[in-house]
Every structure is written in structure tokens, then in C-alpha cells.
Structure 1
Amino acid sequence: MNEISGKKLIETIKQKGKSLEAEMSFFDHLEVLRWHLIRSAIAIAVFMGLSFSFYDFIFDTIIMGPKKPDFWTYRIMCIIGEKFNLGPDFCVTDIPINIINTDMAGQFTLQLNSSLLIGLVLGFPYLLYEIWLFVKPALSDIERKSANGFVFYATLLFVIGILFGYYIIAPLSVNFLAHYTVSPEIDNQITVDSYLSSVATLTLGSGIVFELPIIIYILSKVGIMTPKFMKATRRYAIIVILIIAAIVTPTPDILTMLTVSFPLFLLYELSIVIAGKVEKNKLKAEKAFYEN
């Protein structure tokens, strides 16, 4: 009887040791993640400080760019309108809005918030790198090999999305909303917070949307998304993309809507190709496994 009790005691101690080891391992992972996030926050803070120091250029050239009639997008629109005889309305020569500040600390918070946004955009690649360093040890050699280039491709898509949002979606939206009037008696006096929020949301939102192929790749790897499913739901995806384009660019101009939706169509088709490649590699790996 004492021998049985002794065995039970030893087994209980072993199980307690295993649970304690797992618990320590979990907290060790939390500690590692904490340091990855701290380094990412430091990188973003450094870029934020640089943006704060060179704020005159950032505000006049970048933030206020979509409000100026000589902005790159508007100049290209004038050239295209003249070449294809699209009429004088297609050429943007004036943005009839006045930017105002209504808060005592409004201009200071503007500089602080916009510097933080610039810091997030510039520090995003390093944030992805820290995430990759955290996830990498948990992957197998095959998974690690297949995920090579994650930081590069995710950063590339994010940058393309940011540029598309800043040079296409933001200026088209600013131009439309600036010229939209319910009554000529109403002047467009736009607060600086509202202007910054609109431009930043459209730009950052575009950068996030352009990460769709990366998201589909991850979902395909875990078996949630398949090319067959994406092809079957393509017609619904087209409707959703058109709705998104209509919301982002609230303009009745079909050319503008198609300009915004076309890259989203390409991203969806690219995601189907990526999902198909992942599925093909899975089937190939399974076939090799059973043959061996």
C-alpha cells in the first residue's frame, strides 16, 4: 500500500514539474515577445522624433500635398484630360477648402499625431522584422523555408499600398469632397484634425488592404483558404471590391471608381494564384511523404 502511495506521489510530482515547466515556458515566450515589442516601439519612436524635427517639410509637402492644385496627381489628371479630351472638369485647378484650427492645442497635437503616423509608416518594416524573429523559432525547417521573404514582400506590398492611397485615393477623395456642395451659402471650413484624419485613414487603410496576398498566404498554409473557394466566391468579391471603391471614393465618376477598384481586383487574383501554389506544394509534400 505504501509502495502504491509512493508511486502516486512521485507521479504527482512529475506532473507538477511538467506543468511548472510549461508555465515557465509560456512566461518566457511572453518575455521574449515583450522585448520584440519594446524594440519595435523604440524604432517607431526614433522615426517619430525625426519626423517631429523635420516637420516643416512633412507638413508643407506631404500632409498638405493633396490640398494643393499642383499636386502630382492633379497635374497628371490635367495631362490625361487634355490628351483624351475629357473636358475641363477632369483637370483639377482648385481645391476650395480652408484648413482651420479650433482648439488651443490643436496645432501642437497635429504635429504630435502626424509625427506618430509617419513614425508608424516608416517603422512598419522593422515591426514586421521583429514579428518574424519572434515567430521564426517556432517554425519547422520547411515552414521557415517557405516563409522566407515574408518581411520583404509584406513591406513591398505595404509601401505600394501607401503610395496608391496617398497618390490616388486620398487626392481623388479630397478633390471630390472639396467640390461637393449642398448649397453655395455653405463654405467648406475644414478642421485640421478632420483633414489629417481623412488623408491618414485613406492612406494607411490602402496600405493594410494591400497586405491581402500575405493574409491569404497565411490562411492557405493553415488550410482555411483554398483557391477553389476563392474562385467560387469571385463574383461576390467583385461586388465587395466595388462597394469598397465606392465608399473610399464617393464620386459618381465611373473612371475614378474603376481606377481604385482595379488594383484590388489584381490583388484578389494574385491571392488566388498564391493560394493555388500553397495547395500544390501541400499536395506535393503529402505525395512525397506517402511514397517514402
Structure 2
Amino acid sequence: MANETNTQSFWEHLDVLRTAIVKIVAVAVVFGFAAFFFKEELFSIVLAPKEDGFVAYQLLDRMAAWAGGAVEPFSVRLINTGLAQQFIIHMKTALCAGVLCASPYILYQLFRFVSPALYENERRYVTRVVGGGYMMFGLGVLISYFLIFPLTFRFLGTYQVSGDVDNLISLESYISTLVMMCLAMGIVFEIPILSWLFAKLGFLSADFMRKYRKHAIVIILIVAAIITPTSDVFTLSLVALPMWVLYEVSIWIVKNSKTNEDTFAA
């Protein structure tokens, strides 16, 4: 049976939720303040993909050398276009870093709030879904940061319609693109977890996913083109290939999952 949460009144539930939210905000603010005061270290990480010596570019150089070619060095200068823009971006970036560092604690507090209303088997599945989803999201963010965003930035940052037009990328544009691509890839990497969950609920089957594999590939290419709006086939493939692999892995997961009717039963 579930824990005795039904003995609590609505206001008692609300008070528990308020306490959890206060703890979450407090921890996130503490981490955010810490990130704010470590400005050099914070932006050395955020701005690393714009440097020519970043790991993704070194890998590209080695691949080009192995193929008998060469990759030209590049340099992109970031500019600021607003009087208070750098300070505002500093605060926003520190807040994002604080939330990111506090994310395990945030999930823990949310789980503590909802777990009393769950049965033991439900609690087990929720733990798997949340834990697996968190790890897959983090993996997607890391792949975007270390591989997909740097190559996209290199292409777009050095692309010119004419030699008379110089590229001066704003810091705000750089940060927003980095965050957008990392979030997008983090969400994309949730495909196996969502597929497993839908299979457990009986909404998805491996046969259905195999039947519409071609349609899924077309959708994957469209999504990859949106995430990386470039005409570079290599960069597009770097995004589409992991998505296709995730889809195939999802088919295997759905095939081997058991869609028992009592998965979320009492």
C-alpha cells in the first residue's frame, strides 16, 4: 500500500511543497553565487568551444591529417553590444550553472515530495525513469558541448557571403545558441527513456517502431537540420547519427521490456 499521505490535508501537502521549493531555491542560489564569484573559471568553460585548440577541433584536425588534407585555423571574435549586457549575461550564466549543479538535489527533493503517494513498485519505476532520464540528458548535453556545438559554431562563425563582410558574433548570440543546442540534444537523448516508459504503459511496441522506421529517419533528419541550421553535411550527420542510433536502441529496449498490466497497479 502507499504511505499514509491521505491523512494529510491539502494545506499540509502545500506546506510540504513550499518547504521543498524553498530548499531547492536556496541551494540553487548558493551554487549560483559560487559560480558568479568564480567568473574566470565559469567562462573559461563556457567560451572554450570558440578557441581553435578545443578538443573537437583537434579531433577534426587529426581526421583531416589522416585523410591527407588539412584544416585551416580559425578565429572568431566575440563582441558586446549593450552597456549592461556583459553583467546581465554573467548573472544569467551563473544562475544556469547554479541550477545545473543543484539539479541532483532538485530531483531528490521532488522525488521526496511525490514518493509518499506512490506504491513500492511505482517508486521503483519512477526511480529508474528519473535516474535514467537524468543521465541520458547529461550525456546529450556533453555531446553537444564537446562535439556538435563547436563544429556548428566553427562553420557559422567563419561563414561569409563575401570577403567584404566580417563576422562579429555577439556574446549574447553565442551563449543563447550554446544553451539552445545543449538543451535540444539533452531532450533528444531522452528518446530511449520515453520509449521504455511508453512501452511499459502499453502505448508503444517494437513492431510499430520498425514499421515506421523510414518515417522516423525523415523526422530525425528534419530535427537535425533544425538543431544545426547549416549546409554542412558532416555536421548534420554528427547530429542525425546519434539520433538514429538512439532510435534503434529504443526499438531494442521496447522489444525487451515487459508490458505487464500491473506495472503501475497497486
Q: Which one has a bigger Cα radius of gyration? A: 1
* 8 Å contact from structure 1 (residues 69, 92) kept in 2: no
1:67 aligns with 2:50: yes
Against the structure 1 CA distance between its residues 163 and 139, is the aligned structure 2 distance closer, same or farther, given a 3 Å change threshold? Answer: same
TM-superposition CA deviations, 1:18-74 (whole Å, max 9, x none):
xxxx8x744443333333333222222122111111111111x21111111011110
1:236 aligns with 2:215: yes
Tell me, which stretches of 5 or more residues in structure 2 are unaligned? 1-5
Alignment partner, residue 139 of structure 1: 118
Q: Give the Cα–Cα distance (whole angstroms) in 2 for the partners of residues 40 and 214 of structure 1.
A: 25
* 8 Å contact from structure 1 (residues 36, 131) kept in 2: yes
* 8 Å contact from structure 1 (residues 168, 260) kept in 2: no
Q: Give the Cα–Cα distance (whole angstroms) in 2 for the partners of residues 127 and 267 of structure 1.
A: 27
* 8 Å contact from structure 2 (residues 35, 97) kept in 1: yes
Q: Compare relative contact order (CA 8 Å, sep 6+) and give the higher one, 1 or 2.
A: 2
Alignment partner, residue 54 of structure 1: 38
* Aligned residue type for 1:230: M
The CA RMSD measured in Å over matched residues stands at 2.5
Report the alpha carbon displacement of residue 282 of structure 1 after superposing the two structures with TM: 0.8
Q: Give the Cα–Cα distance (whole angstroms) in 2 for the partners of residues 212 and 68 of structure 1.
A: 32
Alignment partner, residue 73 of structure 2: 93
Report the alpha carbon displacement of residue 165 of structure 1 after superposing the two structures with TM: 0.8
* 8 Å contact from structure 2 (residues 157, 169) kept in 1: no
* 8 Å contact from structure 1 (residues 169, 260) kept in 2: yes
* 8 Å contact from structure 1 (residues 125, 151) kept in 2: no
**Normalised TM-score (structure 2):** 0.86
Q: Give the Cα–Cα distance (whole angstroms) in 2 for the partners of residues 249 and 281 of structure 1.
A: 36
SS at match of 1:225: coil
Q: Give the Cα–Cα distance (whole angstroms) in 2 for the partners of residues 229 and 32 of structure 1.
A: 42
Against the structure 1 CA distance between its residues 271 and 43, is the aligned structure 2 distance closer, same or farther, given a 3 Å change threshold? Answer: farther
**Normalised TM-score (structure 1):** 0.79
Report the alpha carbon displacement of residue 156 of structure 1 after superposing the two structures with TM: 1.7
* Aligned residue type for 1:76: L
Report the alpha carbon displacement of residue 78 of structure 1 after superposing the two structures with TM: 0.3
Alignment partner, residue 83 of structure 2: 104
* Aligned residue type for 1:282: N
1:204 aligns with 2:183: yes
* 8 Å contact from structure 1 (residues 173, 248) kept in 2: no
1:215 aligns with 2:199: no
1:256 aligns with 2:235: yes
User: Where is the helix percentage greater, Structure 1 or Structure 2?
Assistant: 1
TM-superposition CA deviations, 1:235-258 (whole Å, max 9, x none):
222111111222222333333222
Against the structure 1 CA distance between its residues 66 and 92, is the aligned structure 2 distance closer, same or farther, given a 3 Å change threshold? Answer: farther
Report the alpha carbon displacement of residue 109 of structure 1 after superposing the two structures with TM: 0.5
Identity of aligned residues (%): 35
Q: Give the Cα–Cα distance (whole angstroms) in 2 for the partners of residues 232 and 135 of structure 1.
A: 37
* Structure 1, 48-57 or 29-38: larger mean CA deviation: 29-38
* Aligned residue type for 2:52: P
Alignment partner, residue 84 of structure 1: 67
* Aligned residue type for 2:55: W
Q: Give the Cα–Cα distance (whole angstroms) in 2 for the partners of residues 169 and 242 of structure 1.
A: 15
TM-superposition CA deviations, 1:99-129 (whole Å, max 9, x none):
1112111111011011112122222222222
Alignment partner, residue 42 of structure 1: 26
* 8 Å contact from structure 1 (residues 176, 250) kept in 2: no
Against the structure 1 CA distance between its residues 277 and 42, is the aligned structure 2 distance closer, same or farther, given a 3 Å change threshold? Answer: farther
* Structure 1, 214-223 or 111-120: larger mean CA deviation: 214-223
Q: Give the Cα–Cα distance (whole angstroms) in 2 for the partners of residues 105 and 233 of structure 1.
A: 50
* 8 Å contact from structure 2 (residues 35, 98) kept in 1: yes
Q: Give the Cα–Cα distance (whole angstroms) in 1 for the partners of residues 34 and 114 of structure 2.
A: 30
Q: Give the Cα–Cα distance (whole angstroms) in 1 for the partners of residues 207 and 13 of structure 2.
A: 37
* Structure 1, 117-126 or 219-228: larger mean CA deviation: 219-228
Alignment partner, residue 289 of structure 1: none
* 8 Å contact from structure 2 (residues 129, 197) kept in 1: no
Q: Give the Cα–Cα distance (whole angstroms) in 2 for the partners of residues 196 and 217 of structure 1.
A: 33
Alignment partner, residue 31 of structure 1: 15
* Aligned residue type for 2:46: I
Q: How many residues align?
A: 259
